[in-house]
Amino acid sequence: MTSSSGFSAQTLSVLAALCDEPSQWQHGYALAKQTGLKSGTLYPILIRLADRGLVEACWQDEPQPGRPRRHLYRLTAAGLASATAALARAARPKATKAARTPAVRGAVVGVVP
Amino acid sequence: MNRLNQAAAAARHAAAWLLPAGRRDWVTAIWAEAHEVPPGLARLAWRAGGAWVIAREALMPRRLGRAALFAAAAAAAAWAAWPQPGVGHAAVSRFHVVATVLLLAGLPLLARRFFGPATASRAGRFLRVFSCAAILALLPAFAIVEAFANLTPAQPAYRYVFCTAQGWSNVQGCSAVLGKSTGGPPWVGEIPLLLMTIAYLGVILFLTSRRSQVTRGTLAVGAGTGLLFGVVMYAVAPLGLTNGATDPWLPGSNADPLVALAWVLLFGGPAAAAALAAWRGRGPGGARLSRSVRIGQGIAAGVLANGTAALFTTAFGTGTVALMLKSPWLLHVLNHGHYLTAIAAYRYEANAGAGANVYLFMLIWFPVIGLFMSALAAACTTPGRPAPRELTPVPATPGNQ
């Protein structure tokens, strides 16, 4: 189910979570907590966004002792522009529809003037 | 629990192997992130999500449908090609069937790992499906033709015809025992046949993969030229290249227009395809490709053209011979309805059965000719970038000062 922004509600929630601090690298588990998505839903979204060049991913330089290295994500410049536009578009026609998840609502409040 | 974790990790490693290289990092990422999830059900659910991602990426529903279709086609081909009990060459034939099906199932998985996923092109998909279907269709066709071609007729009067068709000119030396198989294909012959299958599949899988960077246009030009040449070649040699078999179908003269066209396409087809592919060579966004890349595109188009033609002719030709051996009505049609005596009909059948081996030579030599002609044509028709002209200072004149 895609919204008028061209992204599904779940994708919009991921974009919104990544928009919170666009310059910061974020972990998958943190994104899952923020968006309320399960790993089986979150990662295919991240994969698709990375394939489209909207999200960049890298491996943690210095892992915590005894823990494997973690994968980090953040929006690319194109991703930030696309996410901002999509969230604004999603907020415009039906504010309630776009604001289904807390992350989207927060981002819309922060992004849309 | 520790063993369970180890088993889960081993299963994850094995499953991730099915994924293309670009996706394996993501699976590792999900598993690494599981350490941050509170232990217990939440972590289990996280890992289950990871398993779902692997299943989704490696075995999408469309792929499952394709795999089921392939399994059904492979099972049908293997069933039709499986040798009957009592056939002299049963062990070799069984090995051929099993090895070919395993190659068809395994090589695409290996190709996905090493060459990446298939290119998003209709011509590329057609080439993959066509090559797989042609090789599967050849299994029962070869089995029928081999069983017939190696079976000495029971009637003594037919023995001379059989020995001549086999190429045993010294009939006195024809040691075939009436009504018995001469032994069928040898093990030594099986190895080149499998190598050829690997070569055809490998080249087609590579050229239609993303890593090869062969453009959609090149694949379309190669496949189109190959199909055209294949249709002409099949019309020229629907029953092998022996005159004894093709006489009723064609006059068999080298001056026949269709035969002349086949010769032109054998050498000119890959050359034209290479020139066209090299000339059209454009990268993403319409960017002009370098000379070496355009020559590479040309060679790929030429090899694909003659390889596709050889595979098309072999599959349809051997299929026609097999159908003719099983269906007397086809022999009647091929002879334009003329009445044939029993021994004359057997002569055509024996010649066609023995002549079907010629298709194997086409499979070997057509792509080689395609490679040579396309390399020549691509190199000749792709001009190098002109050397940059040195800028000469414009002499100062009163006018431009």
- Three-state SS sequence of chain B: CHHHHHHHHHHHHHHHCCCCHHHHHHHHHHHHHHHHCCCCHHHHHHHHHHHHHHHHHHCCHHHHHHHHHHHHHHHHHHHHHCCCCCCCCHHHHHHHHHHHHHHHHHHHHHHHHHHCCECCCHHHHHHHHHHHHHHHHHHHHHHHHHHHHCECCCCHHHHHHHHHHCCCCCHHHCCCCCCCECCCCCHHHHHHHHHHHHHHHHHHHHHCECCCCCCHHHHHHHHHHHHHHHHHHHHHCECECCHHHHCCCCCCCCCCHHHHHHHHHHHHHHHHHHHHHHHHCECHHHCECCHHHHHHHHHHHHHHHHHHHHHHHHHHHHHHHHHHHHCHHHHHHHCCCCCCCHHHHHHHHHHHHHHCCHHHHHHHHHHHHHHHHHHHHHHHHCCCCCCCCCCCCCCCCHHHC
Pick from B15, B32, B53: which residue ends a domain?
B53
For residues B330 and B323, the answer to whether their CB atoms sit within 8 Å is: yes
Residues B33 and B135 in one domain: no
* Position B176 in a domain: no
Phi, psi torsion values for A9, nearest 5 degrees:
-60, -40
* Position B277 in a domain: yes
The Cβ-side half-sphere exposure at A22, using a 13 Å CA radius, reads 18
Residues B83 and B216 in one domain: yes
Mean pLDDT, residues B358-376: 92
Residues B14 and B78 in one domain: no
Average pLDDT over chain A, rounded to whole?
Answer: 79
pLDDT greater than 60 at residue A34: yes
Please provide the CATH number assigned to the domain covering A9-105. Answer: 1.10.10.10
Q: Cα angle vertex B286, ends B284, B288, to 5°?
A: 100
* Position B35 in a domain: yes
Query: How many Cβ atoms from other residues are within 10 Å of residue B18's Cβ?
Result: 16
Residues B189 and B49 in one domain: no
Structural domain harbouring B95 = 60-150+185-381
Mean pLDDT, residues A31-54: 91
For residues A67 and A42, the answer to whether their CB atoms sit within 8 Å is: no
Enumerate the residues of chain B whose CB falls inside 8 A of the CB of residue A39.
Answer: 30, 33, 45-47, 49-50, 53
* Position B155 in a domain: no
pLDDT greater than 90 at residue B300: yes
* Position B162 in a domain: no
- With CA atoms as reference, report the closest residue to A104 among A15, A8, A44, A30: A15
Interface test with A, best of B23, B26, B210 (most A CBs within 10 A): B26
| Residue contact A43–B49, C-beta within 8 A | yes
Enumerate the residues of chain A whose CB falls inside 8 A of the CB of residue B57.
Answer: 44, 47
Residues B357 and B235 in one domain: yes
Interface residue A41 vs chain B (CB under 8 A) = yes
Looking at the complex, report in whole angstroms how far the Cα of residue B32 sits from the nearest Cα belonging to chain A: 6
Q: Are strands A26-27 and A71-75 parallel, antiparallel or unpaired?
A: antiparallel
| Residue contact A28–B30, C-beta within 8 A | yes
What are the structure tokens assigned to B150, written together? 């190696």
Decide if the complex's ipTM is over 0.85.
no
DSSP characters over chain A: -B-TTSSBHHHHHHHHHHHHSTTS-EEHHHHHHHHT--HHHHHHHHHHHHHTTSEEEEE-SSPPTTSPPPEEEEE-HHHHHHHHHHHHHHHTT-HHHHTTSHHHHHHHHHH--
Most confident of the following: B35-44, B70-79, B331-340, B383-392: B70-79
Alpha-carbon distance of B344 to B332, in angstroms, equals 12
The more confidently predicted of residues A2 and A109 is A2
Residues B212 and B137 in one domain: yes
Instruction: For tokens 């030429």, name the residue.
Output: B302
* Position B399 in a domain: no
Cα B57 to Cα A40, A45, A57, B29, B209, distances in angstroms: 11, 12, 18, 15, 17
Residues 13-32 in A contacting B (C-alpha not used; CB under 8 Å): 27-29
pLDDT greater than 60 at residue B248: no
Edge-first strand order for the sheet with A71-75 is A26-27, A71-75, A55-59
pLDDT recorded at residue B329:
78
Residues B25 and B146 in one domain: no
pLDDT recorded at residue B185:
62
Residues B306 and B357 in one domain: yes
The gap from C-alpha B8 to its chain's centroid, in whole angstroms, comes to 38
**Contacts with B65 (C-beta within 8 Å, 6 or more apart), sequence order:** none
Residues B309 and B343 in one domain: yes
For residues B207 and B115, the answer to whether their CB atoms sit within 8 Å is: no
CB pairs < 8 Å spanning A and B: 60
Residues B25 and B101 in one domain: no
Residues B374 and B272 in one domain: yes
Domain ranges for chain A:
9-105
Looking at the complex, report in whole angstroms how far the Cα of residue B45 sits from the nearest Cα belonging to chain A: 8
* Position B177 in a domain: no
For residues B198 and B110, the answer to whether their CB atoms sit within 8 Å is: no
For residues B349 and B145, the answer to whether their CB atoms sit within 8 Å is: no
For chain B, how many structural domains are there in total?
2
- With CA atoms as reference, report the closest residue to B100 among B143, B151, B146: B143
Q: What is the pLDDT of residues B227-236, one digit of tens each?
A: 999 999 888 8
Cross-chain CB nearest to A68 (options B23, B35, B46): B35
* Position B232 in a domain: yes
pLDDT recorded at residue B119:
84
Sign of the CA dihedral running B324, B327, B332, B333: negative
Instruction: For tokens 């499953």, name the residue.
Output: B15
Cross-chain CB nearest to B53 (options A27, A44, A69): A44
Mean pLDDT, residues B321-347: 76
pLDDT greater than 60 at residue B52: yes
How does residue B169 score in pLDDT terms, banded at 50, 70 and 90?
low
Q: What is the pLDDT of residues B206-221, one digit of tens each?
A: 999 988 889 888 999 9
Alpha-carbon distance of B181 to B89, in angstroms, equals 8
Enumerate the residues of chain A whose CB falls inside 8 A of the CB of residue B49.
Answer: 38-43
Residues B339 and B210 in one domain: yes
Interface residue A89 vs chain B (CB under 8 A) = no
Enumerate the residues of chain B whose CB falls inside 8 A of the CB of residue A70.
Answer: 29, 32-33, 36
Alpha-carbon distance of B35 to B44, in angstroms, equals 11
Cross-chain CB nearest to B29 (options A28, A44, A67): A28
pLDDT greater than 90 at residue B100: yes
